[in-house]
Amino acid sequence: MKNPFENLDKALEHRVRLQIMSVLVTHDGYEFNALKEVLSITDGNLASHIKALEREKYLTVSKSFVEKKPNTKYKITERGRTAFKKHLDALEAVVKQQK
């Protein structure tokens, strides 16, 4: 029997990254400050986890200005959506195997 833990996505094993993806999968896009507030984390902590997900091409970053203030928005990519679903399926398999 294959070990279901092998199917977990290393990039999504950290709880903050999993939280980020959970928010993005249910929204069309999310701004940096709103995401920071929802997750109750610091700027630096959010930025480092966003970079990790961006390296995996799980999300896209768009930067603009709103009323002369910088605005950064994140969107999940199709690759990210697929990886998130596979990770959740792997978690479910782990739970089912323990019953």
CATH number at residue 75: 1.10.10.10
Is 14 part of a structural domain of the chain?
yes
pLDDT of residue 76: 98
pLDDT of residue 66: 86
Q: Which domain holds residue 56?
A: 4-93
Is 99 part of a structural domain of the chain?
no
pLDDT of residue 86: 94
Is 98 part of a structural domain of the chain?
no
Contacts 24+ apart (CB under 8 A), 5-9: 5/90, 5/94, 7/86, 7/87, 7/89, 7/90, 7/93, 8/87, 8/90, 8/91, 8/94, 9/83, 9/86, 9/87, 9/90
pLDDT of residue 6: 85
Is 52 part of a structural domain of the chain?
yes
Residues in the chain where the model's pLDDT stays below 70: 1
Q: How many domains does the chain have?
A: 1
Is 36 part of a structural domain of the chain?
yes
